[in-house]
Amino acid sequence: MKKNNIDIFITGAGLAGLLASIAFSRKGFSVVCIDKIDIKNHIDNNSKSFRTTAFLEPSKKFFEEIGIWTEIKKYSCPMNSLKLVDTKLLNDHLTITASKTFSNESSDTLGWNIKNNDMIKALFEVAKKEKNISLFSNTTIEVFEINDEFVEITLSNKKQFNAKLIVGSDGRDSFIRNELNIKSTTKALGQNALTFGIQHEKSHNNISNEIYYSGGPFTTVPIKNNSDENYSSVVWMDEENATNNLMKLDKTSFEKEINKRSADILGHLKLVSEPQLWKMRTQVAKRLISFRAVIIAEAAHVLPPIGAQGFNMSINDIKCLLKKSIKNKYKLGEPRMLLSYERERLVDMNFRVSSVSLLNYFSKTDNPFLKIIRSSSIKYLFNFNPLKSTIMKLGLGSQ
């Protein structure tokens, strides 16, 4: 069987794997990307999903740099500011006790929001047309062996490749990470996130609202719509029991709960998609590299969806790996290059993981004392509070 020599082999064609494939291809590297699922079917089956990803300004700049912003922009809704809202229960209604709006001082937008399925579709369409990318669905790795010069890979479709670098972007239960024997620190959070779409009475005005009460934030994120109607996606985090009970409700009862929990920020809400449930955990890999191998995105880090960090961090992984790969100082896949990648990414990763864990802790608290701190932070102290700088640093995606 003929073995093909390639530069980079990528396992996993989710958001991160597809984006990494395009980014490397556009810089002239030859790429093979595989996924164990049928990507086209996956896109068709998820056309009604309202799970979205908010990406921040630096991520948009990266899309511009690699020449795919036009394809992504047509599905994306600008998010001009983020409003933090604290509430308390009064006569069975959530009443706002404090709120604060943040914008990006150096740009009109803080970020953009896109349905995951639209993003995958856009990236898949671009990747299919790239002459430097070979993309295989329904395919897994049968064997891979790492030697000094390259990684020898045999696929389930019997194709064989010699790659200078293998990249694991195969998600939170990464096969590559396990095969490389890289350990992770994992913490179950006892929380789930519900995602769904809403149509609402008031305009979203391109604002994302993060509404605190207990159990986790209820976050609305504006969605691009082609009519006069107003749509947003919602990520509602709460304790496992609470979300499991919500999932059992019929549409009318569920709508009643979301209208109560949203504190009337967007007026009356109607549910426009089936709620989906996601289990929350924090998971951080102890190493990001091995010989001629690297892990990126959720294979390396998993966070609760607070402050839109997950995929934005993955874009930082890709940007960093690309920068090291095109630097004349290094040969692709050599240990010095990978060590330099790991050193840089671990610093950013650890900062974001601890910041998001802190924000999650404050956002879900039922402790009356911490609730007072949270409300006062939002109301009075944000101008000099470290929480403000953390949120802004996270929100602006700075490194």
Ligand X SMILES: Cc1cc2nc3c(=O)[nH]c(=O)nc-3n(C[C@H](O)[C@H](O)[C@H](O)COP(=O)(O)OP(=O)(O)OC[C@H]3O[C@@H](n4cnc5c(N)ncnc54)[C@H](O)[C@@H]3O)c2cc1C
Using CB under 6 A as the binding rule, whether residue 395 contacts ligand X is answered as no
Q: Which stretch binds ligand X (CB under 6 A): 99-107, 145-153, 169-177, 201-209?
A: 169-177
Burial string for 366-384 (b: 16+ CB within 10 Å, else e) reads: eeeeebeebbebbeeebee
| CA atoms of 19 and 342, how far apart (whole Å) | 19
Q: Is 163 exposed, middle or buried (0-12, 13-18, 19+ CB in 10 A)?
A: buried
Q: Which residue is nearest to ligand X (CB)?
A: 14
Using CB under 6 A as the binding rule, whether residue 217 contacts ligand X is answered as no
User: By CB under 6 A, how many residues form the interface with ligand X?
Assistant: 33
Q: What residues are paired with 331 via a beta bridge?
A: none
**Torsional class of 270: left (φ above 0), alpha (ψ -120 to 50), beta (otherwise):** beta
Using CB under 6 A as the binding rule, whether residue 8 contacts ligand X is answered as no
CB 14 to ligand X: min, Å? 2
- From candidates 69, 102, 278, 330, binder to ligand X by CB under 6 A: 278
How distant, in Å, are the alpha carbons of 52, 62, 314, 323, 397 from that of 311? 11, 13, 5, 18, 11
Q: State which of positions 26-65 bind ligand X (CB under 6 A).
A: 34-37, 51, 53-55
CB 31 to ligand X: min, Å? 15
Using CB under 6 A as the binding rule, whether residue 169 contacts ligand X is answered as yes
H or E segment and range at residue 125: helix 116-129
Using CB under 6 A as the binding rule, whether residue 344 contacts ligand X is answered as no
133 near 52, Cβ under 8 Å? no
Site string for ligand X, 135-154 (x = CB under 6 A): -----x--------------
Using CB under 6 A as the binding rule, whether residue 170 contacts ligand X is answered as yes
CB 260 to ligand X: min, Å? 21
- From candidates 11, 30, 192, 316, binder to ligand X by CB under 6 A: 11
H or E segment and range at residue 69: helix 69-73
Residue with Cβ nearer ligand X (97 or 312): 312
CA pseudo-torsion sign 121, 29, 308, 305: positive
H or E segment and range at residue 4: strand 3-11
Q: Which stretch binds ligand X (CB under 6 A): 79-87, 145-153, 305-313, 348-356?
A: 305-313
Residues that bind ligand X (CB under 6 A): 11-17, 34-37, 51, 53-55, 140, 169-171, 175, 193, 195, 235, 278, 297-298, 305, 308-312, 314
